[in-house]
Amino acid sequence: MTHQAQPTALSYREALFKAMHDAMALPNTLVFGQGVNDHKGIFGTTTGLGEKFGKNRMIEVPLAEEGVTGICIGAALNGAYPINIHIRADFVLLAMNQIINLAAKYKYMFGGLFDVPMLVRLVIGRSWGQGAQHSQSLQSLFAHIPGLRVIMPASSGAIVDSYAHAVQHHRGPVISLEHRLMYDLTFERDHEPTVLGKTPFSQRRVRKGNDVTVVSTSIMSLEARRAADWLADRGVSCDVIDLHCVSHIDANVIMESVGRTGRLLVADTSWQPYGVGAEICRIVCERDPGALKAPVVTLGMAAAPCPTAKSLEDIYYPNLTTLTDSIAKLVRGKADHGIELPHERSMADVYKRFKGPF
Amino acid sequence: MTRRCEETIVRIYPDDEMKTPMHMSMGQEAVAVGVCRALGNNGDVVASYRSHATYLAQTEDHGSFFGELHGRVNGTADGKSGSMHLADIPKGMLGSTGIVAAGIPVAVGAAFANKQNSPGRIAAAFFGDGATDEGVFWESLNVSCAMGLPMMFVCEDNDLAVHTRKSHRQGFNSLVEVVKKYRCSVYEDDTNDVESIYAMTRSAIAQIIAMGTPAFLNVKTYRYLEPCGTTMDSDAPYRRAEEDAYWKGRDCVALQRARLLANGLAEKDVVAVENEINAAILASVAAAKAAAHPTPQQLYYGVFYEAP
Ligand SMILES: Cc1ncc(C[n+]2csc(CCOP(=O)(O)OP(=O)(O)O)c2C)c(N)n1
């Protein structure tokens, strides 16, 4: 048995590059996207792969989101594994017809005749003046649709393992929402969350605790970890679950945790109405609402399009302070919980070596 | 004025007070200025995210321009839009959008309404050659030609979509030849000369009004700066040295300045006007920096059309 040395730490960007490289090393993979072969290579995640594997498989496409998505579906029907990349999740809205009316239903509608194995990579462009049309976090839209598998990788390990699983084992369409603010963060392999299930699409435990269950997505899982670390030093123990796959949630994982803690906070990257928080509440309420000792708390973006002005953007997104405060209130059961809060206005300031525009 | 505004942006952007992506018009200004001047007060305009020149040509208002780029309440949208969504209803600037080609059918809708309500008023959509890859461009062209709308399509053809050339993206050799098959009049210009573009647009307007059919203007031009951002990327692999030199050798602002001098204007008079413009721009920047940030209450205002 040969053993390939794995690096002990990878940035999110490096993980994406590795995932794309490993996918291209398989003969049936095709990558479609605007800018995949230019010198910026989708933020460095496809750079040089066209040269290495051929530009007939790393395919620079016209601006034709709906058409290209349909082309991916057709190629998938005929034995290819297409990966379609959009540098902003917002641009995939032009392709919703193909994704929802075709890709998601192709197998079922034809009585199981077809598989549509494909991966759609979407980048959430939060912060730094990205504004209303370059920053949306659209997971609930996709997760609502039967037939789609929607993931939000929150670490380098989650990228590498999930993309390998998608390409090699999963036979249906996978929508992955990557977070732009994480691209430059480095994740150590030894600190990866624990996978709570059989496949890399399963939920993950970021931190074990008994006072409160924090269910989070994408970059909010990083925030939840920071909040939990802070609170652990102040006598509050958080059970943090990174949802990872928002379309397929293992109810047992949620119920086991809520059963122990009796308190639930959901921190999502998107709007709350009809969102991840609502879905987690459905899971709990349908199974054992009595497990809750206090009303559920959810956090997300303000229910408005994203404003560009920094002064508004800073209050548009929940930050470490609001998250920590919300957890403390929930656990202590009162607003004046007496727990010191970390002082941080804007998460973007912390995570960002990234400073606009792209 | 447009050029000076953008030169100012290039200078002060690194101060990081304008926290918004910048899609710069520099090099391409003749298109917006020529077309918007020709429309005068009798046109509605929808622009792409590369909206600076179009906005400034249509409104001549660098005060709210810089206010918006600084995210302040004296901007076009109280700081909510940043550089990608500039608008001004009284001046006929019906918006600019960050989604490629998305504004084109909106302009068609404006043309439709004008046909009913404001005979003689024209709607113009500005977009890049990349936008013509998109299905919605063709749908919009088809609808306007089928319905005979007072609509002007203005393609700012810089050959590039981000870093990718037309030849790589389009399965035909000449957009103009394809569009000629539609029931609309087609115009072309590759002079980078604002007066030539102005004259062409005047003819197009006359034809739209006389024939009741749309016009399509394909104007060749050149983007000086990176696709998004304020630096020159002449060394990037997608650039071609000869092309760069060719277009910078016929810079639209330099062309017009030379013409003014050749027409007998004194150098000192031109300089005086330039100084006046520069001073006014600096005043706008100062006013923007002095203006208030939007209040937290502003966050939810306008979401569902509620009263202020
Ligand atoms: C629907 C959509 N797809 C992709 C993008 C990303 N994008 C932004 S600008 C651009 C190139 C557009 O080129 P063109 O229309 O020629 O305009 P130019 O930038 O040259 O002015 C692309 C692909 C987008 N904003 N919207």
Q: What is the CATH number of the domain that holds B11?
A: 3.40.50.970
Q: Is B142 part of a structural domain of the chain?
A: yes
Pocket test of ligand 1: the residue of B100, B218, B223 to mutate, having most ligand atoms within 8 Å of its CB, is B100
**Residue B161 in domain:** yes
Residue A343: what residue type? Answer: H
Q: Which helix (H) or strand (E) holds B57?
A: helix B52-59
Burial A219-235 (b: 16+ CB within 10 A, else e): bbbbbbbbbbebbeeee
Asked if the structure places residue B261 within a domain, the reply is yes
Of B224, B231, B217, nearest to B253 (Cα)?
A: B224
Nearest to A33 by CA among A139, A127, A121, A125: A121
In a domain, B143, yes or no: yes
How far is residue B100's CA from residue B136's CA, in Å, rounded to a whole number?
Answer: 10
Ligand 1 mutation pick, B162, B219, B247, max ligand atoms within 8 A of CB = B162
B150 CA from centroid of ligand 1 (Å): 26
- Residue A129: count of CB within 10 angstroms of its CB: 26
Question: Using CA atoms, how far apart are residues B126 and B101, in angstroms rounded to an integer?
Answer: 9
**Residues on chain A bordering chain B, Cβ-to-Cβ distance under 8 angstroms:** 34-35, 38-40, 60-67, 90-91, 93-94, 128-134, 302-305, 307-312, 315-316, 355-358
Residue of A46, A86, A90, A311 to mutate for B, most B C-beta atoms under 10 A: A311
Can you tell me the distance from the alpha carbon of B223 to that of B248, in angstroms, rounded to the nearest whole number? 10
**Cβ–Cβ of A312/B299 closer than 8 Å?**
yes
Residues of chain B with pLDDT under 70: 305-308
Q: Using CB atoms, which residue from A38, A90, A315 is nearest to B296?
A: A315
Is A204 strand, coil or helix?
Answer: strand
Cross-chain Cβ contact B130/A63 below 8 Å: yes
**What number is the average pLDDT over the span A124-147?**
93
Give the chain B residue whose CA is nearest to the CA of A314: B296
Residue with tokens 């990176």, as numbered in its chain: B226
- B10, B19, B104, best to mutate vs chain A, most A CBs in 10 Å: B19
Range A336-343 average pLDDT? 93
Chain B residues whose C-beta sits inside 8 Å of any chain A C-beta: 16, 18-22, 71-72, 78-85, 97-101, 130-131, 133-135, 161-164, 168-170, 228-229, 236-238, 293-294, 296, 298-300, 303
pLDDT at A357: 36
Contact A266, A258 (CB under 8 A): no
Q: From CA B268, how far away is CA A14, in angstroms rounded? A: 57
Q: Could you report the per-residue pLDDT of A235-291, keeping only the tens digit for each? A: 999 999 999 999 999 999 999 999 999 999 999 999 999 999 999 999 999 999 999
Phi, psi dihedral angles at A116 (to 5 degrees): -125, 70
- Whether residue A126 is predicted with pLDDT greater than 90 in this model: the reply is no
Report, as an integer, the average pLDDT of A298-326: 94
B19:A90 CB<8 A: no
Report the alpha-carbon distance of residue B92 to residue B76 in Å, rounded.
13
Report CB contact under 8 Å: B293, A309. yes
Q: Which of B21, B49, B51 is nearest to B36 (CA)?
A: B51
pLDDT the model gives residue B43? 97
CATH of A191-351, one of 3.30.930.10, 1.10.1370.10, 3.30.360.10, 3.40.50.920: 3.40.50.920
Note the pLDDT of residue A81.
98
Q: Which of A34, A91, A129 sits opposite B99 (nearest CB)?
A: A91
Cα separation, A328 vs A340, whole angstroms: 9
Contact B293 A356 (CB under 8 A): no
pLDDT digits (tens, 9 = 90+) for A192-225: 999 999 999 999 999 999 999 999 999 999 999 9
State the distance from the centre of ligand 1 to the C-alpha of B226, rounded, in angstroms. 13
pLDDT of residue A75: 98
Backbone dihedral region for residue B230 (phi beyond 0: left; psi -120 to 50: alpha; all else: beta): alpha
- The superfamily CATH assigns to domain A11-186 is Thiamin diphosphate (ThDP)-binding fold, Pyr/PP domains (3.40.50.970)
Q: Of B161, B209, B216, B160, which Cα lies nearest the Cα of B183?
A: B216
Residue A339, ligand 1, Cβ within 6 A: no
Calpha distance A154→A170 (Å, rounded) = 20
Look up the pTM and report it. 0.95
Contact call for A134 and B237, based on CB within 8 A:
no
What CA–CA distances, in Å, run from B79 to B67, B70, B287, B298?
A: 7, 7, 14, 10
Number of domains into which chain B is organized: 1
φ, ψ for residue B164, nearest 5 deg: -110, 130
DSSP H stretches of helix in A179-303 = 218-232, 251-261, 276-287
Distance CA B235, CA A279 (A): 50
Q: What DSSP element (H or E) covers B125?
A: strand B122-128
A348 CB-near residues (< 8 Å, 6+ apart): A126, A127, A128, A181, A313, A317
Q: With CB atoms and an 8 Å threshold, state whether B169 touches A63.
A: yes
For the CA of B157, the closest atom of ligand 1 is 16
Per-residue pLDDT at A101 exceeds 60: yes
A91 lines ligand 1 (CB under 6 A): yes
Atom from ligand 1 closest to the CA of residue A133: 25
CA pseudo-torsion sign A152, A158, A38, A24: negative
Distance CA A65, CA B279 (A): 45
Cβ–Cβ < 8 Å for B221, B192? yes
In a domain, B197, yes or no: yes
Which residue, among B173, B182, B241, B253, has the nearest Cα to B216 in the 3D structure? B182
| Cis peptide preceding A357, ω within 30 of 0 | yes
In the DSSP assignment, the letter for residue B249 is T
| Cα A41 from chain centre | 21
| Cα of B98 from ligand 1 centre, angstroms | 8
What residues are paired with B225 via a beta bridge?
B232
State if residue B131 touches ligand 1 by the CB under 6 angstroms criterion. Answer: yes
Give buried/exposed letters for B236-260 (b at 16+ CB in 10 A, else e): eeeeeeeebeebeeebbbebbeeee
Q: What interface predicted TM-score (ipTM) does this complex get?
A: 0.94
Question: What tokens appear for A75 in the block?
Answer: 């190629």
Choose among A67, A123, A63: nearest CA to A95.
Answer: A67
Residue B298: closest C-alpha in chain A: A312
The pair of structure tokens assigned to A297 is: 């708390």
Closest atom of ligand 1 to CA, residue B28: 21
Per the domain annotation, does B102 fall within a domain?
Answer: yes
Torsion sign over Cα B177, B179, B183, B189 = negative
> At residue A344, does pLDDT exceed 80?
no
> Residue A357 is nearest to which of B21, B161, B164, comparing CB atoms?
B21
Looking only at the bridges linking them, the beta strands covering A212-216 and A264-271 are parallel
Is pLDDT of A358 > 50?
A: no
Give the domain extent around B223. Answer: 2-300
Of B99, B104, B172, B234, which to mutate for an interface test with A (greatest number of A Cβ within 10 Å)?
B99
> Does the CB atom of residue B160 touch ligand 1 within 6 A?
yes
- A174: which strand partners? A119, A149
State in Å: Cα B97 to ligand 1 middle: 10
CA atoms lying within 13 Å on the CB side of residue B190: 7
Res A349: pLDDT: 57
DSSP-derived 3-state class of residue B164: strand
Q: Are A241 and A190 in contact (CB under 8 A)?
A: no
Backbone angles phi, psi at A155, to 5 degrees: -160, 170
Considering only the beta carbons, identify the residue of B21, B294, B298 that sits closest to A129.
Answer: B21
Which residues does chain A have within 8 Å of residue B133's beta carbon, measured at their own beta carbons? Answer: 62-64
Residue A39, pLDDT above cutoff 80: yes
